[in-house]
Amino acid sequence: MYFVETIVALATPLGRSGIGVIRLSGDDALGIVRRIVNDAEFAPEPRNAVLHQLYNTDASEVIDQALITYFRAPHSFTGEDVIEISCHGSPVLLRLVLDECLSLGARVAEPGEFSLRALAHGRMDLTEAEAIRDLIDAQTIAAARQAVRQMSGEFSHQLQPMKDELLDVIVVLESALEFVEDDLPELQMENLGSKLRSVVDAIAAMTATYKVGHLVREGIRVAIVGRPNVGKSSLFNALLGDERAIVTEIPGTTRDEIRERFVVDNIPVSLVDTAGLRETSDTVEKIGVERARRTMIDADIVMAVVDVTDDDIDDDLEILKSIEAMRHVVVLNKIDKSADESVDAFLIRLLDNLSSNVRQHVKISAKSGAGLEVLKSALIEPFSPADLNLDGFLVADARHHDLLRRAHDEIVNSVELLRSGTSEEIVLVGLHNALRFLGEITGEITTEDMLTRIFSTFCIGK
Ligand SMILES: Nc1nc2c(ncn2[C@@H]2O[C@H](COP(=O)(O)OP(=O)(O)O)[C@@H](O)[C@H]2O)c(=O)[nH]1
Ligand SMILES: [Mg+2]
């Protein structure tokens, strides 16, 4: 694959910093940089950083002194000529250098275009390219660790034996179709069946890691709801360990939603503080209440906060009834203000008025911090299986999961057809599909190497 255009992009975030890196990839990268350093003979040794002055367009002025690193094709990230210019991290300066690259013929890179070129030049497979994206997006160390494993090709390595097995079976069935007059012998059929079943098991085991993998990558969405003044914003702040939301004794203080992230046991949690749920004539608050209801529906789990020092529980009950069907935790707040017996009495009264669907509850004080650790565990508990193991390889991407699942279903179906004596032709359709799905995960084209494999088992002259 050949890309005509040379692309350029800022490789570091736009903002003031020690250095800012501009990256170019393509045939003209060196030519463009020669103009910028005002030296037509500039020939930096590949993979060695050299300090050089950068000039403005008409070379009348030095604009920066930068470290330039040249990666000659094909030994670069993209497989093309790549040059990285490490400038001083001034947004104004970086803009200037970027503009100069553009005026000298480079084009601004599309999102992910460097990786796309790397993929097209065979520098990495699709899962590895996706892993780079995941590593950059990782919200926790655990997620980063998983991405690094995938980046070094672990996914492809795990898939390869399954694909080989599958291909073996396909080869036998295809040959039977071509050459064997009668049906395959019973024993060979059984052998093929058991081979396929072992592939099914391996795919199923891999697919099963998605629950945890997805959790580690995406985290869970938690909404804090309740009537005004029960301490939702106080709880929000206490969980974050930061005075992020405004807390006052005035009901209706929180009107708009506030979202922040934190991490519990390596699982990212996206926490939303909402406006207190109540009937209101205030226009702004009304919108807030509407948003709160929507957020509640979208959440993976709802924290319904109640104030144990307030005996009027009618509104609480109404809210609790509305979340019965959702995954939830009832948070009994302000226990610092109440004797243990009164808290228990409050809880009994509350539960007496609710169906048995509302059970999970935690007693806390957003003020003193009591019970917060228990609450954190309760939040992630429904999502993380007892055998939460972050050490193994985890499937984290919905695309991968979907393709694995489809490959799995195709093979299961083929096994069934094989067993019932359906013709090879029909059995093969599903197996080819499965192989294609597995191949789609790594982005390779399977048909060609499949054909090579099949024909290599043919006799010479056939
Ligand atoms: N004693 C005590 N007061 C609390 C606690 N949590 C919140 N409050 C107080 O309750 C009032 C309402 O709190 P806020 O977090 O704004 O409630 P929200 O309307 O539900 O967001 C404030 O005066 C808080 O200081 C707690 O655990 N103990
Ligand atoms: Mg609030």
Q: Which ligand is nearest to the CA of 304?
A: 1
Candidates 224, 232, 234, 346: which one to mutate for ligand 1, based on the most atoms within 8 Å of Cβ?
A: 234
Ligand 1 binding residues, C-beta < 6 A: 226, 228-234, 247-249, 253-254, 276, 333-334, 336-337, 365-367
- Can you give the pLDDT at residue 448? 45
- Can you give the pLDDT at residue 453? 42
pLDDT digits (tens), the chain, 462 positions:
778 999 999 999 888 999 999 999 999 999 999 999 999 999 999 999 999 999 998 889 999 999 999 999 999 999 999 999 999 999 999 999 999 999 999 999 988 888 888 888 989 888 888 888 888 888 888 889 889 998 888 999 999 999 999 999 999 999 888 776 666 777 888 899 999 999 999 999 999 999 888 888 888 999 999 999 999 999 999 999 888 788 888 887 887 888 898 988 888 999 999 988 888 788 888 888 888 888 888 899 999 999 999 999 999 999 999 888 899 999 999 999 999 999 999 999 999 988 877 678 999 999 999 999 999 999 988 887 666 677 788 998 888 999 999 999 999 999 999 999 888 899 999 999 999 999 988 877 544 453 344 334 333 322
Q: Which ligand is nearest to the CA of 307?
A: 1
* Ligand 1 nearest atom to the CA of residue 230, by list position: 20
- Can you give the pLDDT at residue 120? 84
* Ligand 1 nearest atom to the CA of residue 228, by list position: 19
> Could you report the per-residue pLDDT of 243-259, keeping only the tens digit for each?
878 888 888 788 788 88
Q: Measured in angstroms, how far is the CA atom of residue 281 from the centroid of ligand 2?
A: 18
Alpha-carbon gap, residue 306 to 358, rounded angstroms: 13
Q: Measured in angstroms, how far is the CA atom of residue 286 from the centroid of ligand 2?
A: 14
- Can you give the pLDDT at residue 416? 95
- Can you give the pLDDT at residue 214? 87
Are 40 and 66 spatial neighbours (Cβ–Cβ below 8 Å)? no
Fold identical between 154-209+394-456 and 216-380? no
Protein residue with least CA distance to atom 13, ligand 1: 231
Candidates 224, 225, 227, 229: which one to mutate for ligand 1, based on the most atoms within 8 Å of Cβ?
A: 229
- What pairs with residue 270 in β-bridges? 221, 261
| CB-based contacts of 434, cutoff 8 Å, min separation 6 | 166, 406, 407, 408, 410, 411, 414
Q: Measured in angstroms, how far is the CA atom of residue 108 from the centroid of ligand 1?
A: 50
* Ligand 1 nearest atom to the CA of residue 249, by list position: 23
- Can you give the pLDDT at residue 250? 82
For the packed helices 126-137 and 424-442, what is the interaxial angle rounded to 10 degrees?
40
Protein residue with least CA distance to atom 6, ligand 1: 231
- Can you give the pLDDT at residue 458? 30
SS3 94: helix
CATH 3.40.50.12160, domain 154-209+394-456, yes or no: no
* Ligand 1 nearest atom to the CA of residue 364, by list position: 27
> Could you report the per-residue pLDDT of 113-140, keeping only the tens digit for each?
888 888 889 898 888 888 888 888 888 8
pTM of the entire predicted model: 0.74
Q: Measured in angstroms, how far is the CA atom of residue 342 from the centroid of ligand 1?
A: 18
DSSP state letters, 340-377: HHHHHHHHHHHHHTS-TT---EEE--TTT-TTHHHHHH
Question: Which one, of 144, 122, 142, lies nearest residue 133 by Cα?
Answer: 144
Long-range contacts of 182-186 (CB under 8 A, 24+ apart): 183/421, 184/424
Q: Which ligand is nearest to the CA of 305?
A: 1
Q: Measured in angstroms, how far is the CA atom of residue 333 from the centroid of ligand 1?
A: 8
Q: Which ligand is nearest to the CA of 230?
A: 1
Q: Where are the domains of the chain?
A: 7-123, 154-209+394-456, 216-380
- Can you give the pLDDT at residue 451? 34
- Can you give the pLDDT at residue 53? 97
Q: What's domain 7-123's superfamily in CATH?
A: Probable tRNA modification gtpase trme; domain 1 (3.30.1360.120)
- Can you give the pLDDT at residue 249? 83
Protein residue with least CA distance to atom 17, ligand 1: 231
Protein residue with least CA distance to atom 28, ligand 1: 334
Q: Measured in angstroms, how far is the CA atom of residue 337 from the centroid of ligand 1?
A: 11
In one-letter notation, the amino acid at residue 176 is A
CATH of 216-380, one of 3.40.50.300, 1.20.1440.230, 1.10.1200.10, 3.40.50.2300: 3.40.50.300
